Amino acid sequence: METTSERELDHIPTIKEKGTNVYKPEDIKRWGVERFLEVVAPKEPFRFGIEFTDDENRRMDEVLEEERNRK
């Protein structure tokens, strides 16, 4: 059985450390899903650097509503 100190020593590399965002399922299972997400999940929403005007946001909302009504 794994002790807490062994688990603490089992380092979870961040995406930056790994250089990739691909993790093996067996590694995630070994680390534990909640612990894995605490380490690699973003703490804040992503900022893409794209800002839309109020008119652009309104138009996108209209287009989305039109799409929903087609179904």
**pTM of the full structure:** 0.47
User: In the prediction, which pLDDT does 4 show?
Assistant: 52
User: In the prediction, which pLDDT does 5 show?
Assistant: 53
Residues of the chain with pLDDT under 50: none
User: In the prediction, which pLDDT does 68 show?
Assistant: 93
User: In the prediction, which pLDDT does 24 show?
Assistant: 92
User: In the prediction, which pLDDT does 3 show?
Assistant: 57
Q: How far apart, in whole angstroms, are the C-alpha atoms of residue 22 and residue 26?
A: 12
User: In the prediction, which pLDDT does 47 show?
Assistant: 75
- Per-residue CA distances from 66 to 8, 43, 54 (Å): 51, 34, 18
